[in-house]
């Protein structure tokens, strides 16, 4: 009989709450075998990360394992019960036998140590070797994870690396002691699809090279198709379904699994509304199997003929933006980096224009230049016939009522000391839309209801909300001034796919009811395809390709666009 590397039996984990102890893991059981990759999938709060932290014995904030067993079989096949193992013994296993890649590399890396020193430190913790040997081993690891300019990266600080590069440093650290089991907790969340594909391929290659087993945790079922042999689907602290990856995707049995698969934007058809998980959990078959939810090519053509017969609402002409960058010893060398290079396009009333490309391609810079949140170096922007780039501060302030932005990170764009009601009411009061603050607050409560939240939430602070709820609050604030035009900048990139579907549906509903026009910025092509009437593909500050998303997906002209489409995870299932 083949012995599993890890056996989890009837695991129960609880955390303290105002009502007493709350169970977050409820009798979870699974095995993982040598050389196997299992995917653990579910929404935020489903218990994925808590399960992995239990394996590592790293529970915090009062978390306690109340029942169950976690048995690890070492290289000599000796069983070790990890629950109750003294911390001194657990520390010898942690990193050397069982390693973990944490979700957010920036907060996991020490900002005051170079990347090379951090990895070398982890090696020396488990092996009695010299600094020189640890340095040499670290360099070899950086080359294994294919970090560019590995020697230079050894001396670099975490803030000097991109998201994908920081993730590679974390992977190098995790495999530095050649563990038997590697736990990867959301290692590709919010990364570009191309970077995500590179990270997945890297993990698979390293798994084979080091003969490791792997637990891959994600909220995106599509990602698991590219990496996992088996999938465990978690919901509210329980495993609701498990099996071979192909079987789970082709024949999902549990309504929750069916909902997670269905809420991803499909590539083979156009929907008016994405199904959401609650449709499946509530058995709302009328919504799920509604053929009227499919937008036909004829209907879409009819809509576009009417839309593009209008005069454009926004006109962007030859916009450019350059930044001065420093390099060399003490920043002695200066050179200009072109973020946006002579970009031109029009946006029509009622249109959603998708803007897609990898991080650093110029999407966000372009969006902010259009709103003059940063000043373009050259070019012109017209909105409703008025030249935005020629406006003085007074005129630009008045225009802010018509042009708004939904930022990528809703938490950092909300004041943590203001209630969400105050945050939504503040722009209304600043622009004099209502005679009293009481009237502004009442309108803020109405807007919360409009975006699917309770008016009672108005008196709560931002930290009291989930990521999806905060995104709805930021959308409500953007709507406070009754704008005609919205830029949505990566507004769903870090959300669970189920919450993402809800936000995308909300944006489309608001577009129809409020007569809005959007520029929708994202690195996720499947999301942009679902949302957009037209699509612009950006690379290195240029528009690489433009046109109807369906046409671009069917026959992309640019090799860069082909690369982006090929990198979409789980294409065979969406």
Residue 294 CA: distances (Å) to CA of 512, 531, 533, 547, 550? 17, 14, 15, 21, 14
Residue 113, C-beta contacts closer than 8 angstroms, at least 6 positions apart? 121
d(CA 467, CA 408): 11
d(CA 391, CA 383): 11
In eight-state DSSP terms, residue 452 is T
Burial 72-94 (b: 16+ CB within 10 A, else e): bbeeeeeeeebeebeeeebeebb
- pLDDT at 1 (0 to 100): 56
Strands 181-185 and 213-218: parallel
20, with CB counted inside 10 A (0-12, 13-18, 19+), is exposed
Is-contact 512 480, C-beta < 8 A? no
Structure tokens at 122: 């982890």
Please list the rounded mean pLDDT of every run of 10 residues in the chain (574 residues): 88 88 94 95 90 91 91 90 92 90 80 93 90 93 88 89 84 90 86 84 89 91 89 96 93 93 89 90 74 89 95 97 68 74 97 92 93 95 96 93 89 90 94 92 94 92 86 92 94 84 93 95 90 95 95 93 87 56
Burial 383-418 (b: 16+ CB within 10 A, else e): bbeeebbebeeeeeeebbbebbbbbbbbeebbeeee
Domain coordinates of the chain in residue numbers? 409-482
3-state secondary structure 186-234: CCCCCCCHHHHHHHHHHHHHHHHHHCCEEEEEECCHHHHCCCCCEEEEE
Residue 394 CA: distances (Å) to CA of 62, 388, 397? 53, 12, 5
Biggest CA-to-CA distance, the chain: 77
- pLDDT at 154 (0 to 100): 92
Residue 11 CA: distances (Å) to CA of 66, 359, 564? 8, 40, 40
- The helix or strand, by DSSP H or E, that contains position 49, with its residue range, turns out to be helix 48-56
What strands, in cross-sheet order, belong to the sheet with 485-489? 403-406, 485-489, 517-522, 352-356, 534-539, 542-547
d(CA 71, CA 247): 28
Counts for the chain of helices (H) and strands (E), in that order: 23, 20
d(CA 283, CA 275): 12
- pLDDT at 333 (0 to 100): 62
Phi then psi dihedrals of residue 96, to 5 deg: -90, -45
Residues 236, 239, 243, 247: what is their CA dihedral angle, to the nearest 10 degrees? Answer: -30
Residue owning tokens 């030249």: 387
d(CA 475, CA 479): 6
What strands, in cross-sheet order, belong to the sheet with 378-383? 333-347, 314-327, 378-383, 386-387
- pLDDT at 291 (0 to 100): 76
Alpha helix stretches (DSSP H) within 414-532: 420-430, 437-450, 467-479, 497-514, 525-531
Is-contact 11 234, C-beta < 8 A? no
The residues facing 73 across adjacent strands are: 79
């Amino acid at each position: 009989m083949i012995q599993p590397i890890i056996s989890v039996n009837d695991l129960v984990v609880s955390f303290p709450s105002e009502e007493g102890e709350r169970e977050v893991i409820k009798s979870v059981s699974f095995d993982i075998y040598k050389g196997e990759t299992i995917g653990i999938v579910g929404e935020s709060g489903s218990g994925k990360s808590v399960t992995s932290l239990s394996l590592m014995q790293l529970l915090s904030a009062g978390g306690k394992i109340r029942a169950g067993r976690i048995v690890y079989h070492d290289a000599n096949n000796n069983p070790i019960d990890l629950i109750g193992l003294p911390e001194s013994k657990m520390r010898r296993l942690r990193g050397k036998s069982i390693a973990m890649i944490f979700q957010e590399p920036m907060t996991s890396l020490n900002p005051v140590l170079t990347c090379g020193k951090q990895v070398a430190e982890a090696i020396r913790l488990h092996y009695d070797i010299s600094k020189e040997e640890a340095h040499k081993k670290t360099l070899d690891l950086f080359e294994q994870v294919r970090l560019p300019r590995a020697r230079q990266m050894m001396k670099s600080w975490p803030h000097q690396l991109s998201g994908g590069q920081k993730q590679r440093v974390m992977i190098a650290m995790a495999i530095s002691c050649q563990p038997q089991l590697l736990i990867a907790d959301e290692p590709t969340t919010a990364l570009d699809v191309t970077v995500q594909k590179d990270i997945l391929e890297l993990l698979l290659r390293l798994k084979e090279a080091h003969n490791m087993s792997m637990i891959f945790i994600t909220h995106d079922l599509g990602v698991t198709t590219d990496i996992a042999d088996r999938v465990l689907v978690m919901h509210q602290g329980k495993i609701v379904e498990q099996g071979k990856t192909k079987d789970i995707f082709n024949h999902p049995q549990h309504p929750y699994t069916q909902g997670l698969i269905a809420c991803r934007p499909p590539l083979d058809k156009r929907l008016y509304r994405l199904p959401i998980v609650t449709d499946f959990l509530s058995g709302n078959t009328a919504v799920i199997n509604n053929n009227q939810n499919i937008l036909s090519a004829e209907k879409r053509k009819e809509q576009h003929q009417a839309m593009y017969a209008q005069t454009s609402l926004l006109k962007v002409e030859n916009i450019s933006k350059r930044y001065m960058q420093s390099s060399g010893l003490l920043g002695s060398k200066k050179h200009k980096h072109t973020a946006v290079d002579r970009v031109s396009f029009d946006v029509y009333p009622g249109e959603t224009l998708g803007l897609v490309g990898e991080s650093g391609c110029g999407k966000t810079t372009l969006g902010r230049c259009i709103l003059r949140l940063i000043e373009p170096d050259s070019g012109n922007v017209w909105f409703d016939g008025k030249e935005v780039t020629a406006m003085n501060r007074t005129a630009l302030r008045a225009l802010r009522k018509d042009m708004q932005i939904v930022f990528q990170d809703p938490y950092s764009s909300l004041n943590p000391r203001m209630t969400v009601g105050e945050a939504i009411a503040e722009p209304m009061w600043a622009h004099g839309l209502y005679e009293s603050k009481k009237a502004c607050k009442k309108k803020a409560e109405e807007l919360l209801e409009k975006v699917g939240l309770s008016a009672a939430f108005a008196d709560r602070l931002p930290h009291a909300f989930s990521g999806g709820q905060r995104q709805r609050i930021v959308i409500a604030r953007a709507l406070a001034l009754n704008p005609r035009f919205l830029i949505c900048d990566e507004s769903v990139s870090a959300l669970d796919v189920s919450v993402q579907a809800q936000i995308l549906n909300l944006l489309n509903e608001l577009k129809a009811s409020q007569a809005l026009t959007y520029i929708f910025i994202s690195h996720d092509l499947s999301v942009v395809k679902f949302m957009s009437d037209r699509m612009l593909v950006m690379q290195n500050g240029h528009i690489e390709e433009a046109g109807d998303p369906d046409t671009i997906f069917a026959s992309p002209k640019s090799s860069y666009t082909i690369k982006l489409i090929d990198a979409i995870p789980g294409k065979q299932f969406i």
